[in-house]
């Protein structure tokens, strides 16, 4: 019994001594140097952390080496010294510590405290990438892509991008889809494009949704599938993607994959138009002009044609000329009509060429000039305009 009491007393005294050591920092054996150093580091007492971490680092502790590198890089508890930061990062990196490999890579990539050396940057990023670090994999992919620090190799770039994309990175799923669909840097592969666009689209990537819809709408390398097209156009359109809104309008107007519905077409065209799409603005103006999908309004037609015309949309420019010629939605003004017709005619619009020729022939808003009338009729006729050909024959008689 006495022996048990003595043993208990020894345990109590030993425990008390252990906690006294910790509290008064009297016993180095209580903590190893790294743990004690990190306790100070985490409490932002960097000066006390330095000697402890230094001792651990000199004994080969990889985490201590890494943290010393950071402290010298940022000037925490020591004077900022990039050469020492590089030295400690290198020691940790050579032991395989991923964070140190990345930091060392960035130092050489950016020339931060060392001479810029893209080859060294590539080597250290590569080591981190091989350990599965996503950021390093992205950088290695980019460096292969651009030929930075290594001979350019698009196939290798794609391999690394694929590793990143396989981890669910939506941007690189989209990037791969784009590369495979464009077929500029790598061989075109529609099945791969659909695969990567689909993965990104399912995560809500709006451009991937649009490109996927476009593939099915146009039948690029696959059978046309309007139901798939409208599904993905709609998802992108509901995220306010203007191009998708416009194409959804086209499908409703033409009854492609849906029951034809000009009202819904008008709604989607207008949404795209409000975001500045010139073709959508023209289509919106046209529907107002014809009274389809919207109540007929020449005022609104002129408003939307004008927005499109400001972006050099030639059909819109011709139609503004028509509004001024007819006096619809604006005061009739042959001079302004001729000005708008001329803008569009110079850009090759066949209707504007014919309309401008008519005004020269009649002398409306401009001085009558049969030579110029013939010239514009001829330009329109050369584009196959039947009325222009007939007008030329009449002028030649």
CA–CA separation, 257 and 243 (whole Å): 18
pLDDT of residue 396: 78
CA–CA separation, 115 and 108 (whole Å): 7
Per-10-residue mean pLDDT of the chain, 397 residues long, equals 50 47 43 87 93 93 95 94 94 96 96 94 97 96 97 97 97 98 94 97 98 96 95 98 98 96 98 97 98 97 97 97 96 96 96 95 94 94 94 83
pLDDT of residue 142: 97
Q: Do 99 and 68 form a contact (C-beta atoms < 8 A)?
A: no
CA–CA separation, 269 and 277 (whole Å): 9
The pTM score is 0.83
3-state secondary structure (DSSP) of residue 231: helix
Q: Please give the structure tokens belonging to residue 297.
A: 């309004």
pLDDT of residue 26: 40
CA–CA separation, 269 and 300 (whole Å): 14
pLDDT of residue 113: 86
Q: Please give the structure tokens belonging to residue 386.
A: 């039947």
CA–CA separation, 142 and 338 (whole Å): 53
Concatenate the DSSP letters of all residues of 220-274 into one string: SSS---HHHHHHHHHHHHTTT-HHHHHHHHHHHHHTSSS---HHHHHHHHHHHHH
Q: Do 281 and 316 form a contact (C-beta atoms < 8 A)?
A: yes
CA–CA separation, 380 and 382 (whole Å): 5
The interaxial angle of helices 98-110 and 62-74, nearest 10 deg, is: 30
Interval 203-224: pLDDT, tens: 999 999 999 999 999 998 899 9
| Domains in the chain, CATH or no CATH each | 30-95 (1.25.40)
Q: What is the DSSP letter of 382?
A: H
Q: Do 139 and 126 form a contact (C-beta atoms < 8 A)?
A: no
Q: Please give the structure tokens belonging to residue 100.
A: 């140190």
CA–CA separation, 20 and 28 (whole Å): 12
Neighbours of 301 (CB within 10 A): 27
Interval 262-282: pLDDT, tens: 999 999 999 999 999 999 999
3-state secondary structure (DSSP) of residue 168: coil
């Amino acid at each position: 019994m006495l022996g048990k009491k003595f043993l208990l007393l020894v345990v109590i005294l030993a425990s008390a001594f252990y906690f006294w050591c910790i509290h008064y920092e009297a016993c180095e054996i209580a903590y190893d140097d790294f743990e004690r150093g990190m306790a100070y580091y985490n409490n932002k007492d960097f000066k006390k952390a330095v000697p402890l971490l230094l001792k651990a680092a000199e004994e080969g502790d990889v985490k201590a080496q890494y943290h010393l590198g950071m402290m010298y890089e940022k000037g925490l508890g020591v004077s900022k010294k990039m050469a020492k930061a590089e030295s400690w990062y290198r020691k940790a990196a050579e032991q395989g510590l991923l964070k140190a490999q990345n930091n060392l890579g960035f130092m050489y990539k950016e020339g931060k405290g060392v001479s810029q050396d893209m080859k060294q940057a590539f080597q250290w990023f590569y080591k981190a990438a091989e350990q599965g670090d996503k950021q390093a994999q992205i950088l290695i992919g980019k460096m292969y892509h651009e030929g930075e620090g290594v001979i350019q190799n698009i196939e290798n770039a794609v391999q690394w991008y694929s590793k990143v994309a396989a981890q669910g990175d939506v941007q690189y799923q989209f990037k791969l889809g784009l590369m495979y669909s464009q077929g500029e840097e790598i061989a075109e592969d529609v099945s791969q494009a659909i695969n990567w666009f689909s993965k990104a689209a399912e995560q809500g990537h709006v451009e991937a949704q649009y490109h996927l819809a476009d593939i099915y709408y146009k039948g690029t390398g696959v059978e046309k599938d309007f139901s798939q097209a409208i599904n993905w156009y709609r998802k992108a359109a509901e995220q306010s993607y203007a191009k998708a809104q416009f194409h959804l309008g086209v499908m409703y107007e033409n009854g492609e994959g849906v029951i034809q519905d000009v009202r819904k077409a008008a709604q989607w065209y207008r949404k795209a138009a409000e975001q500045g799409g010139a073709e959508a603005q023209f289509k919106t103006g046209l529907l107002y002009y014809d009274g389809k999908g919207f109540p007929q309004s020449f005022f609104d037609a002129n408003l939307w044609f004008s927005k499109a015309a400001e972006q050099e949309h030639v059909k819109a420019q011709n139609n503004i000329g028509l509004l001024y010629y007819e006096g619809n939605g604006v005061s009739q003004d042959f001079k302004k009509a001729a000005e708008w017709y001329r803008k569009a005619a110079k850009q090759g619009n066949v209707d504007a060429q014919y309309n401008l020729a008519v005004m020269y022939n009649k002398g409306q808003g401009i001085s009558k000039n049969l030579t110029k009338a013939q010239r514009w009729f001829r330009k329109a006729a050369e584009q196959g305009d039947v009325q222009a050909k007939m007008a030329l024959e009449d002028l030649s008689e």
